[in-house]
Structure 1
């Protein structure tokens, strides 16, 4: 399976930093495109928003102010400072 490396920010209670993660590229079976869930590895249809096996949210979060893709864990956009969710 071919994968594309991306960098994403991850924050935990004890540490916060950069982690390199993998985003799978889409594959196709009988005209339907599939991806593997990045959390549990289950093969899913490309247009799923949530993995039905583990509940992982698959679609990226887009900052409503600047339009950049950001981590779901962020309270503020690291690019423009917009408050993305209530703490």
Structure 2
């Protein structure tokens, strides 16, 4: 669900029946453009996620999310995982 509005993001109200959890609060989700490009190049060239995280002193989860973002932009050429035929 896209919660963005043209003018402002909606405010979530806590109620007795619905309680919200904001996820990924402990991660830094912003990347300098040159670092994001370097991370993508490293991944596409075969570097492992954990090694990229160590190189840039970032959490592996942050690197994964950066690569996920880049994949959505069609900038990732190396697969994250492979599926066997007939498996879902």
* TM-score, scaled to structure 1: 0.23
Higher share of residues assigned helix: 2
Higher share of residues assigned strand: 1
The structure number with the bigger radius of gyration is: 2
Higher relative contact order by CA 8 Å / sep ≥ 6: 1 or 2?
2
